[in-house]
Amino acid sequence: DAGVIQSPRHEVTEMGQEVTLRCKPISGHDYLFWYRQTMMRGLELLIYFNNNVPIDDSGMPEDRFSAKMPNASFSTLKIQPSEPRDSAVYFCASSFGTRNTEAFFGQGTRLTVV
């Protein structure tokens, strides 16, 4: 397996534009996580899914952020409209089961909103 695949690796966009980040989890994994990493706040959990169903989205900053998982092999995180304070590295991770299992991370998407 190629691991968790995220795209794009880098995204530069203007304030007010819509941004869509994509993630392909490891095949067979039933949990998918979206995190945001900044120097100030560290690695924050935004939302996580179990079997394609959102379980906890309490970390989503505001209504401008939305996430979907239409099937077991694909998830998106959308920001609309984007703002400069959304600039960060966004990570997707997947895991199997809840019994103390390892989360496998993608390489992240570095988002810059100017």
- Tell me which residues touch another protein (CB under 8 A): 4, 31, 33, 35, 41-45, 48, 50, 55-56, 91, 93, 95, 98, 100, 102-103, 105-108
32 vs 113 by CB, closer to another protein? 32
Could you tell me the end-to-end alpha-carbon distance of the chain, in angstroms, rounded to an integer?
A: 36
Cβ of residue 15: shortest distance to another protein, in angstroms?
A: 25
Question: Kind and range of the H or E element at 13?
Answer: strand 10-13
Least distance from another protein to the Cβ atom of residue 3, Å: 9
Give the residue with the Cβ less far from another protein, 3 or 16. 3
Minimum Å gap between C-beta 75 and another protein is 15
In the DSSP assignment, the letter for residue 3 is -
**Which has the closest alpha carbon to 48: 97, 105, 92, 108?**
92
The smaller minimum CB distance to another protein, of residues 22 and 81, is found at 22
Tracing tokens 């998982």 back to the chain, one arrives at 69
State the nearest-atom distance from the C-beta of 19 to another protein, in Å: 19
Preceding omega of 8 cis (within 30 degrees of 0): yes
According to DSSP, residue 103 is labeled P
